[in-house]
């Protein structure tokens, strides 16, 4: 079933960083059944707008000098978005700015977020571009004015209606479910935590009762990976058991995937998490020595650092080694046999 209460939102900002930059214009289209209403306002960002941004969206410093600040429109915006599915083009960008603005006021904001870029890519993969201009051209949408926050929300509403009409409500509802994949968090974890996770490479740590370290994992997208641990459709008992035991989550951002891999390996070795059995298992270290028993008679001898018995596969391999002649030359195929025997 498709969400009954929708909010299509479009923002203009002073830049692309929700931590450093501010909102300069907000447009919201509220839809519930056949009832549609729009609301928009300029916002004084309380800081200069960069020149290239002024050229980009047409909002100049003098345009917003008498506009209300975000704190003055926050209550009305919260009321308009409350209980509605948050829909936007590049939704994480818009949601990140709204969430950051509320955080500066000491308030929390959370909503289910749907991205129309991802919907466009799913239903129209043959199209080369999926930005708003392409949406307007490819779907022959008309919104009166060409640009502006309200015009963009009307464009998204028309796109939504076309999907319902041409692709069917069932297909659209399935796409929404796939995109949201709402996590089923344990009651003792704050749902806002998942929104705070960055969509960047790093390492995450799950802690259980008495702050015992349960699991260390890595990902190129921390938010996506951690959310997957709490997906409502978990099928593996191990994953389900781990998600039920988590009491606290911590994470470290890293420079790229390699940084995450190295940090994960180090933390697992040092901290010995309960559920990282594969990585925490001590590697079996060994050295091969070439021993000359007599002139022209060479043998390979395994010098072991671990105390586990030699596997039968390795015994078979050792028995197949030559007992005389020239010393064997390590080559790729020989090393592969060595690894297989291990």
Token pair belonging to 108? 């929390």
Residue-level pLDDT at 160? 94
List 27's β-bridge partners, or say none: 10, 40
Token pair belonging to 281? 């298992």
Q: Are the C-beta atoms of 204 and 226 separated by less than 8 Å?
A: yes
What are the E-state strand segments in the chain?
5-13, 23-32, 35-42, 85-88, 113-115, 202-207, 213-219, 248-253, 286-294, 297-304
Determine the topology of domain 192-280 in CATH.
GIY-YIG endonuclease (3.40.1440)
Rounded Cα–Cα distance for residues 150 and 6 (Å):
15
Token pair belonging to 336? 């592969």
Token pair belonging to 175? 């796409």
Q: Which of 275-284, 310-319, 320-329 has the lowest mean pLDDT?
A: 320-329
Token pair belonging to 58? 């047409």
Q: pLDDT band at residue 48, thresholds of 50, 70 and 90?
A: very high
Q: pLDDT band at residue 249, thresholds of 50, 70 and 90?
A: very high
Q: Which segment, 37-46, 148-157, 258-267, is predicted with the most confidence on average?
A: 37-46
Average pLDDT over residues 203-218: 92
CATH topology identical between 5-180 and 192-280: no
Tell me which residue of 142, 136, 88 sits closest to 127, measured CA to CA. 136
Q: pLDDT band at residue 285, thresholds of 50, 70 and 90?
A: low
The SS3 call for residue 326 is coil
How does DSSP classify residue 156?
Answer: H
* Radius of gyration from C-alpha coordinates of the chain: 29
The domain segmentation of the chain, as residue ranges, is 5-180, 192-280, 286-341
Q: pLDDT band at residue 88, thresholds of 50, 70 and 90?
A: very high
CA trace torsion 182, 184, 190, 193 (10° rounding): -50
Identify the CATH number of the domain defined by range 5-180.
Answer: 3.30.420.10
C-alpha atoms less than 13 angstroms from C-alpha of 63 in its C-beta half-sphere: 16
Residue of 237 and 123 predicted with greater confidence: 123
Residue-level pLDDT at 335? 42
Rounded Cα–Cα distance for residues 207 and 8 (Å):
37
Record the pTM: 0.59
Q: pLDDT band at residue 329, thresholds of 50, 70 and 90?
A: very low
% pLDDT > 70, the chain: 75
């Amino acid at each position: 079933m498709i969400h009954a209460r929708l909010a299509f939102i479009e923002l203009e900002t002073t830049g692309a960083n929700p931590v450093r930059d501010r909102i300069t214009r907000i447009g919201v289209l509220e839809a519930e059944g056949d009832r549609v209403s729009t609301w928009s306002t300029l916002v004084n960002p309380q800081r200069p707008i960069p020149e290239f941004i002024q050229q980009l969206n047409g909002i100049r410093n003098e345009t917003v000098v008498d506009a209300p600040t975000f704190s003055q429109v926050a209550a009305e915006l919260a009321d308009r978005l409350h209980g509605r599915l948050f829909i936007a083009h590049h939704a994480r960008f818009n949601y990140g700015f709204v969430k950051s603005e509320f955080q500066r006021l000491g308030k929390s904001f959370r909503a289910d977020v749907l991205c129309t870029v991802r919907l466009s890519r799913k239903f129209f993969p043959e199209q080369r571009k999926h930005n708003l201009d392409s949406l307007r051209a490819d779907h022959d949408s008309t919104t009166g004015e060409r640009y502006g926050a309200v015009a963009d929300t009307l464009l998204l509403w028309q796109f939504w209606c076309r999907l319902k009409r041409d692709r069917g409500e069932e297909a659209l509802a399935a796409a929404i479910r796939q995109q949201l994949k709402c996590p089923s968090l344990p009651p003792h974890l704050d749902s806002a935590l998942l929104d705070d996770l960055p969509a960047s490479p790093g390492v995450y740590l799950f802690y259980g009762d008495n702050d015992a370290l349960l699991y260390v994992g890595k990902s190129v997208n921390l938010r996506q990976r951690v959310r997957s641990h709490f997906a409502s459709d978990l099928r593996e008992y191990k994953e389900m058991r781990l998600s039920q035991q988590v009491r606290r989550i911590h994470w470290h951002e890293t420079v790229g995937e390699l940084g995450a891999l190295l940090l994960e390996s180090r933390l697992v070795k040092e901290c010995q998490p309960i559920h990282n059995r594969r990585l925490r298992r001590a590697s079996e270290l060994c050295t091969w020595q070439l021993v000359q028993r007599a002139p022209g008679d060479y043998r390979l001898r395994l010098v072991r650092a671990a105390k586990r018995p030699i596997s039968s596969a390795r015994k078979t391999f050792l028995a197949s080694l030559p007992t005389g002649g020239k010393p064997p030359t390590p080559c790729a195929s020989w090393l592969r046999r060595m690894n297989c025997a291990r």
